[in-house]
Chain A
Amino acid sequence: MAKILIVEDERAINDLLKMNLEMVGHRCVSAFTGRDAIRAAGEQGFDLMLLDVMLPDVEGFAVLEKVRDVPTIFLTARGATTDKVRGFGLGADDYIVKPFEVAELLARVQAVLRRTHRAETEYAIGDLVIRWDAHEVLLCGERIDLTPQEFALLRILIENRNVCLSRQKLLSEAWGIDFLGESRTVDVHIQKLRRKLKLENHIKTIYKNGYRFEE
Chain B
Amino acid sequence: MKLWQKTYLLSTLLCVLILYGCMFSVTAPAISATVRSATESALREERALAKTLEQTMAQAPEGRQIPVLRTLLDYYAGTGLTFRVTEIDQQIYSTLPCSVEKSPGTMGFLRDRGRLYIFASDRLPSGYDFLYLKDAAATDALLKHQVTAAALTGTAVAILMAAALYVLLYRVNLPVSRLAHEMRTPLTTMKGYAETLRDAKLTEEQRYMAASYIAAETTRLSDVSARLLTLHNAKEEATPFGPVDVEELFEHIRQTYPTATYEVNWPTLFGDRAMLSSMLNNLVDNAVKASPAGSPVELRAAPNVLAVIDHGSGLSDQALAYVNHPSRFKKLHDAGGLGVPLCHQIAKAHGARLTYTRGADGGTVATVTFYNSLTS
Contact = CB atoms under 8 A, between A and B. Distances in A.
A101 interface: yes
A209 B185 CA distance: 27
Contacts of A103: 195, 199
A15 B195 contact: no
Contacts of B32: none
B213 to A, nearest CB: 5
A183 B210 CA distance: 30
Interface in B246-281: none
Interface string B294-307: 00000000000000
Contacts of B202: 23
A181 interface: no
Contact of A54 (B196, B210, B217, B331): B331
Contacts, number: 76
B148 to A, nearest CB: 41
A54 to B, nearest CB: 7
Given A16-B193, A162-B200, A164-B198, A99 B184 contact: yes
A19 B197 CA distance: 11
Nearest to B217: A12
A99 B331 CA distance: 19
A42 interface: no
Nearest to B192: A16
Contacts of B333: 56
A10 B185 contact: yes
Given A56-B334, A77-B181, A101 B187 contact: no
Contacts of A100: 188, 191-192
B189 interface: yes
A20 interface: yes
A206 B206 CA distance: 19
B192 A99 contact: yes
A19 B206 contact: yes
A103 B194 CA distance: 12
A36 interface: no
Contacts of A19: 196, 200, 206, 209-210
Contacts of B184: 77-78, 98-99
A107 to B, nearest CB: 13
Given A15-B209, A16-B213, A77-B181, A99 B187 contact: yes
A212 interface: yes
Nearest to A82: B1
Contacts of B189: 10, 12-13, 16
A94 interface: no
B113 interface: no
A214 interface: yes
Contact of B192 (A102, A212, A214): A102
A23 B201 CA distance: 8
A50 interface: no
Nearest to A55: B331
Nearest to B186: A12
B60 interface: no
B216 interface: yes
A23 B213 contact: no
A154 interface: no
A12 B185 contact: yes
A103 B191 CA distance: 12
B188 A13 contact: yes
B199 A15 contact: no
Interface in A120-151: none
B206 A12 contact: no
18 contacts: A12-B185, A12-B213, A13-B188, A15-B213, A16-B193, A16-B213, A19-B209, A19-B210, A23-B200, A56-B334, A78-B184, A99-B188, A101-B191, A102-B192, A102-B195, A102-B199, A163-B199, A209-B198
Interface of A: 10, 12-13, 15-16, 19-20, 23, 54, 56, 77-78, 98-103, 162-165, 206, 209, 212, 214
Q: Which 7 A-B pairs have the closest CB atoms?
A: A99-B188, A164-B199, A12-B189, A16-B192, A162-B201, A98-B188, A102-B195
Given A16-B188, A77-B184, 11 more contacts: A13-B188, A15-B213, A19-B206, A23-B200, A98-B187, A99-B191, A100-B188, A101-B191, A102-B200, A206-B199, A209-B198
